Amino acid sequence: MKPIISISLPVLVILAGVFQGSASAAKPVQVFILAGQSNMEGQGVVDLDHPQHYNGGKGTLLHVMRDPKKAKTFSHVKDDAGNWIVRDDVFVRFKTRHETKKGGLSIGFAGYPGKHHIGPEFQFGHVAGEAFKEPVLLIKTAWGGKSLFKDFRPPSAGGETGPYYNQMIEEVHEALGSVDKDFASLAGRELNIAGFAWMQGWNDMFDEKARAEYEQNLVHLIHDVRAEFNQPKLPVVIGELGNGGPKASDSMLAIRNAQRAAASRAEFKGTVAFAPTADFARSADQSPNVGHGHHWFGNAESYFLIGDALGKEMLKLLKH
C-alpha cells in the first residue's frame, strides 16, 4: 500500500503556478499561409478511377503508391492498417466555395467536396510536421482562374486593389481568429506566422501587360503581405508555373522567368526562394485528367512533389 502524502495549501498553490507557467510557456504554433489559384486549391486525384473520366485511375495517389520504386517516398501517408494518416501535429484550414475544411492534415483539403483530391498542402504539411516540434497550422486561401495583374493585385502595385487580394487577407485573419474554436488542441497558444507560399501564374500568362508586370507585381505582393502581418522578413516561397514540363511556350517561360527574377532580387536575399516544379510534370496518358494540362492533368505525384519542394525551400529559408 502506497503511503498517503499530505500537501499543504501553499504548496498546492505553488504547484498550480508551475503547471500554469509551463502551459503558458508552450512554443507558438507555426503558421504557414498557402495562397494562389487552382493549383494551390489542389487538383491531384487520390482514388477516382472511372475509365472514361479519370483514365482508369492512372496517376492517382493510390496508383502511384503501388509502384514498388516509390513505396518509401509515400510510406508516411498511410498507417499499417492501410488507413490514411491524419496528423495530430499539423492542421489545415481551407475555406472553399462549398465549406470550410478544417482538421488534422490528411487527404481531402482541396477545393472539391469529399476526400478525393490533394494539393501542395499535403506533402508541405508532412515536411513541416517532421521539421517542427511545435504544432503547425496551414491556412489555405486559393481560387481558380485568378490573375495577379487584376484579381490578386496588391495595394502597392497601384490601381484598384484586387478583390481576391483583399479576400485572401480577410480569410487569413478569419482563420487566425478562429483557431481556438476550430482546433481545440491549439486553443490559447501563441500563433507565429512563419511563412508564405505562392502558387499562381497561369492566368497572367495570356495577357501581354500582365506578363510584363508580373515580376514587379509579385514583388509588391510580397511587400504588402509582409506589411499586413508586420513581418518585414517573412519567408516567402514562390512555386514555379511548371505545368507541361521544362519545354514551354514563350508566354509560360515569361512567367517562370519573372517568378525566378522576383525571388532573386537583392532586397529579398535569404528571405525569398524560388521552387522549380517543371520536372514534376507527368504526361497526360499517365494521368487521371487527360484534358487538364492547366491542372497538371490531375496527377497526384505532381502535386505531392510540388508540396515537397515548397516545404523544403521554406525550411531552408527558416534554416530549420
Note the pLDDT tens digit of each residue in 207-263: 999 999 999 999 999 999 999 999 999 999 999 999 999 999 999 999 999 999 999
Burial 294-308 (b: 16+ CB within 10 A, else e): bbbbbbbbbbbbbbb
Q: What is the DSSP string of 181-216?
A: HH-GGGTT--EEEEEEEEE--TGGGG-HHHHHHHHH
Q: What is the DSSP letter of 134?
A: S
What pLDDT sits at residue 23? 43
What pLDDT sits at residue 26? 83
Q: What is the DSSP letter of 266?
A: G
**Backbone dihedral angles phi then psi of residue 113, each to the nearest 5 degrees:** -65, 155
Alpha-carbon span 223 to 116, nearest angstrom: 35
pLDDT band at 25; cut points 50, 70, 90: low
| Helix or strand (DSSP H, E) at 170 | helix 163-177
Residue 142: closest CA among 157, 127, 164, 124: 164
% of the chain beyond a pLDDT of 70: 92
Question: Coil, helix or strand for 90?
Answer: strand
Alpha-carbon span 272 to 264, nearest angstrom: 8
What is the rounded average pLDDT of the residues 272-286?
98
Alpha-carbon span 42 to 241, nearest angstrom: 14
**Backbone dihedral angles phi then psi of residue 99, each to the nearest 5 degrees:** -170, 170
% of the chain beyond a pLDDT of 90: 92
Prediction pTM value = 0.92
CA 76 distance to own-chain centroid: 18
What is the rounded average pLDDT of the residues 28-47?
98
What pLDDT sits at residue 18? 44
* 131-142: pLDDT as tens digits: 999 999 999 999
* 3-state DSSP helix/strand/coil % of the chain, to nearest 5: 45, 15, 40
Question: Coil, helix or strand for 130?
Answer: helix
Cell numbers 499562381: residue: 200
Alpha-carbon span 264 to 256, nearest angstrom: 12
Q: Is the pLDDT of residue 11 over 90?
A: no
Taking domain 34-318, whether its CATH number is 3.30.70.360 is answered by: no
